[in-house]
Structure 1
Amino acid sequence: MMRNTTLSTAALGEQSLAKSALLVVAGSVLLTLSSKISVPFFPVPMTMQTFTVLLLGFALGARLGLVTVLAWLAQGAVGLPVFAGPAAGIAYFAGPTGGYLAGFVFATWATGALAERGWDRSLVGSAAAALLGLAVIYASGLGWLGTVVGWDKPVLELGLIPFLPGELVKLCLLACALPLAWRALGRGDS
């Protein structure tokens, strides 16, 4: 079994340019929908984006997952309403969520690279890779959030602590679902 096989390749076969383009479009739509599943916290809303970003990395791999997230960000930059809430455009990146958006890029690549090495085929590996992806997102997000709102504000209370229970649930879902998906394809670890 080749370890660099991703879930999408295992399920759909080798990726042609047309198949890859369809996966990017589908992933972008999924990421947009996950942006709209939102609990309105301030200054950063709680959404299903982190789950979807990590899932895209796991399912599509480092390169195609990265292209998908970059395409989604480009759509938002030109004004399409793909982000949480009604705001869009290049100015959105300068707001309090800009660091999280940047973190999505790196987290997708990281989880995709780990998935290509087989980390998504076991419960422990999936959980560790998802935790690393979340750490990347929150490190980037909190760094930028502190810059935007000021480091004299309770940055952890604004941009991390309220999200931890939800992130734990998302991490558990990914950690359980990924090995099951591989087993369903007949390619999981024994």
Structure 2
Amino acid sequence: MSEALTTPGQTRPATAIQSAAVIITGTALMALAAKVQIPFWPVPMTLHTLGVMAFAVAFGPRAAVSIFASYLALGAAGLPVFSGSPERGIGVAYLMGPTGGYLLGYLIASGLVGYLAVGKKTFGRIWAMLVGMIPIYGLGVAWLAFYIPSSELFVVGVAPFLLGDLVKICVVAAIGTAIPASISRRWSKGQ
């Protein structure tokens, strides 16, 4: 990012226009990530986790939360941005459905991973992303418990997704090695 875009003493290197562009682009990419279905075992995977982790690692907590909150707002307003929508519902009805806890977990993970990963190198970022999986699975399974018997929660709500999520974390970490930690520091100043 060009230093000419900042003024002396400015605490955030990004201008309001740059920040808005990152959030709008990130929100669009998050919607796309929800729609992409990659054949995987034991279930096809979307790129939600990859998007959440990548935005958090690259831009820090403020931008990552803003991106995911904007994505949730678009979905709550009725736009078919969620995985499986409009077939599985839209708007608030979708958010209240079986995957609602996972979506809330992604929002929390956006901030948590962004905070923990700022300025860290590869292993610190991996650790941050692994910690970020706790609210995703924790809230996801807790919410899913309203829809399926507790004896099936791990088999239905965790096991099919673990391997894919670990692969996505590895992909983000690999890409992150090419992105200097200074980018995270630049975007996260003032957060």
In the superposition, the TM-score normalised over structure 1's length comes to 0.81
Q: CA deviation at 1:40?
A: 8.9
- Equivalent residue in structure 2 for 1:109, among 111, 119, 123: 111
Shift >4 Å, 4+ stretches: none
- Equivalent residue in structure 2 for 1:100, among 77, 99, 102: 102
1:15 and 1:24 map into 2 onto residues whose CA distance is 12
2:37 and 2:78 map into 1 onto residues whose CA distance is 19
Tell me, yes or no, if structure 1 residue 161 matches structure 2 residue 159.
yes
Q: Which runs of 5+ in 2 are unaligned?
A: 7-12, 186-191
Partner of 1:56: 55
User: 1:92 corresponds to which letter in structure 2?
Assistant: Y
2:98 and 2:180 map into 1 onto residues whose CA distance is 37
Partner of 2:21: 22
- Residues 53 and 150 (structure 1 numbering): CA distance in 2 closer, same or farther, change over 3 Å? same
Percent identity among equivalent residues? 37
1:126 and 1:175 in contact (8 A); partners too: yes
User: 2:32 corresponds to which letter in structure 1?
Assistant: L
Deviations 1:23-47 (A, max 9, x none): 1100001100100112699xx9731
2:53 and 2:169 in contact (8 A); partners too: no
Partner of 2:77: 78
Partner of 1:133: 132
1:130 and 1:174 in contact (8 A); partners too: no
Which structure is richer in relative contact order (CA contacts within 8 A, separation 6 or more)?
Answer: 2
Deviations 1:134-174 (A, max 9, x none): 222111111111122232x4111101101111112111112
1:135 and 1:142 map into 2 onto residues whose CA distance is 11
Paired positions, count: 172
User: 1:107 corresponds to which letter in structure 2?
Assistant: A
Q: CA deviation at 1:124?
A: 1.4
